[in-house]
């Protein structure tokens, strides 16, 4: 395809960022931008340079940042939505983040003016009846295997370099003092947590890292609070397994997040709840669990085979399920979407 000037709007980090943020896209955002630039496209980041202002990481020699309105062939949004008390308040007010204001400005400047637009709805927050979906210059991409009508499936991208170097035998040899772990925030996961993790935690040595503020129902669970992005891999390497806890709006359409590959590439086997639609597309059948009792059974089996060839075999089979999610394949999907939009 022809080389494009792509404007990319995201409220997050390219590096490790800061601890107090729910930005899960750090696992793949920078590799995706690198893939687009390697293909010859010029990418300009259109939101605030948070790596510089908040984390002290200067990436301006590698990426173009703009708070203006550069000439673009395509604009792409990691979709933002109203968060009362944060991005709905007046600029410069305490606690304000300007992501939504900037996104609105960019939509008015580019999308409503007819510029080809890709909306990547990473959190499933764009309403199915949003008027933007009906614009001929707009395409919506989603992780979901069963996307919103009119949407395009673009699976959560696994960086090729990380997948290529994953060695099931080496991962199986790692000593793992924890049986079960979960890394992630509470947001809309209470039901899944109660069904698949909390009861299992009474039987297994475990850890939950993330922002969990309503935990009175689970006094036995070891909640350790938010961890730095740089700690995610190390925590997964200490555990035999995790559970893919998904909000129902994710589970019912097969929207699987980066937690799958973050865990698996560290050798922490991801157990997939049976109520996740098309979950068998993401893990081998032996890793699908029906409830906490099932979680305990699978983890106890892992405890018995830990470090063996059988353990390595399970890891190897699970790693094969990441192949369709390769970043290079998903970047090709994105570039095809952009090519279709710019050909109109």
- Give the 3-state secondary structure of 40-107: CCEEEECCCCHHHHCCCCCCCCCCEECCCCCCCCEEEEECCCCCCCCCCCCCCCCCCCCHHHHHHHHH
Same domain, 223 and 196: yes
pLDDT of res. 9: 98
Query: Residue 240 — very low, low, confident or very high, per pLDDT cuts 50/70/90?
Result: very high
Query: Residue 77 — very low, low, confident or very high, per pLDDT cuts 50/70/90?
Result: very high
Same domain, 115 and 139: yes
For residue range 295-333, what is the model confidence (pLDDT) as tens digits?
999 999 999 999 999 999 999 999 999 999 999 999 999
Residues 6+ apart with CB under 8 A from 302: 179, 240, 241, 269, 311, 314
Is residue 271 helix, strand or coil? strand
pLDDT of res. 92: 87
Q: What is the DSSP string of 194-255?
A: IIIIIHHHTTS-EEEES-----TT-TTS-EEE---GGGHHHHHTTEEEEE----HHHHTTT-
Same domain, 143 and 234: no
In the chain, the number of structural domains is 2
Same domain, 305 and 201: yes
Same domain, 182 and 219: yes
Same domain, 318 and 330: no
For residue range 274-302, what is the model confidence (pLDDT) as tens digits?
999 999 999 999 999 999 999 999 999 99
Residues 6+ apart with CB under 8 A from 193: 182, 186, 218, 245
Tell me the C-alpha distance between 220 and 222, whole Å: 7
Same domain, 115 and 256: no
Tell me the C-alpha distance between 140 and 142, whole Å: 7
Same domain, 130 and 79: yes
Mean confidence (pLDDT) of the chain: 97
pLDDT of res. 204: 98
Cα-based angle 235, 236, 238 (whole degrees, multiple of 5): 70
Residues 6+ apart with CB under 8 A from 134: none
Same domain, 63 and 138: yes
pLDDT of res. 246: 97
Query: Residue 4 — very low, low, confident or very high, per pLDDT cuts 50/70/90?
Result: very high
For the cut 80, the answer to whether the pLDDT of residue 1 exceeds it is: no
> What's the average model confidence in pLDDT over 32-60?
97
Share of the chain above pLDDT 70, in %: 100
For the cut 80, the answer to whether the pLDDT of residue 145 exceeds it is: yes
Query: Residue 340 — very low, low, confident or very high, per pLDDT cuts 50/70/90?
Result: very high
Q: Under a CB-based contact definition with an 8 Å cutoff, are residues 168 and 312 in contact?
A: yes
For the cut 90, the answer to whether the pLDDT of residue 20 exceeds it is: no
Same domain, 186 and 318: yes
Which CATH number belongs to the domain containing residue 201 in this structure?
3.40.50.2000
Residues 6+ apart with CB under 8 A from 260: 156, 244, 270, 282, 283, 322
Which CATH number belongs to the domain containing residue 117 in this structure?
3.40.50
Same domain, 33 and 126: yes
The parent domain of residue 141 ranges over: 5-157+326-343
Same domain, 124 and 190: no
Within 10 angstroms of residue 53's Cβ, the number of other Cβ atoms is: 9
For residue range 242-266, what is the model confidence (pLDDT) as tens digits?
999 999 999 999 999 999 999 999 9
Within 10 angstroms of residue 101's Cβ, the number of other Cβ atoms is: 16
pLDDT of res. 126: 98
């Amino acid at each position: 395809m022809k080389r494009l000037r792509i404007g990319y709007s995201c409220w997050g980090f390219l590096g490790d960022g800061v601890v107090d943020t729910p930005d899960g896209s750090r696992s793949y955002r920078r590799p995706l931008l690198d893939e687009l630039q390697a293909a010859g496209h010029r990418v300009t980041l259109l939101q605030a340079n948070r790596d510089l202002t908040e984390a002290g990481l200067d990436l301006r020699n590698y990426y173009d940042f703009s708070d203006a309105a550069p000439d673009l062939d395509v604009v792409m949004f990691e979709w933002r939505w109203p968060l009362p008390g944060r991005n709905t308040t007046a600029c410069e007010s305490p606690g304000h983040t300007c992501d939504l204001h900037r996104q609105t400005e960019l939509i008015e400047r580019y999308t409503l003016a007819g510029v080809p637009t890709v909306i990547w709805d990473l959190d499933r927050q764009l309403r199915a009846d949003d008027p933007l979906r009906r614009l001929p210059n707009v395409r919506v991409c989603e992780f979901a295997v069963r996307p919103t009508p009119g949407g395009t499936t673009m699976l959560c991208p696994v960086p090729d370099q990380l997948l290529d170097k994953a060695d099931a035998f080496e991962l199986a040899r790692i000593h793992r003092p924890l049986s079960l772990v979960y890394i992630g925030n509470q947001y809309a996961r209470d039901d899944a947590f109660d069904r698949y993790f909390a009861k299992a935690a009474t039987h297994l040595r475990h850890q939950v890292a993330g922002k969990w503020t309503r935990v009175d129902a689970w006094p036995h669970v070891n909640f350790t609070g938010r961890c730095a992005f740089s700690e995610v891999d190390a925590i997964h390497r200490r555990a035999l397994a995790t559970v893919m806890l998904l909000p129902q709006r994710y589970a019912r359409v097969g929207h699987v997040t980066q937690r799958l590959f973050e865990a698996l590439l560290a050798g922490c086997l991801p157990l997939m709840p049976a109520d996740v639609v098309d979950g068998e597309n993401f893990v081998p059948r032996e890793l699908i669990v029906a409830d906490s009792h099932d979680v305990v059974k699978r983890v106890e089996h892992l405890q018995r085979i830990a470090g063996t060839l059988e353990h390595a075999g399970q890891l190897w089979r699970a790693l094969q399920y990441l192949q369709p999610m390769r970043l290079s394949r998903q970047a090709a999907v994105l570039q095809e979407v952009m090519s279709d939009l710019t050909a109109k």
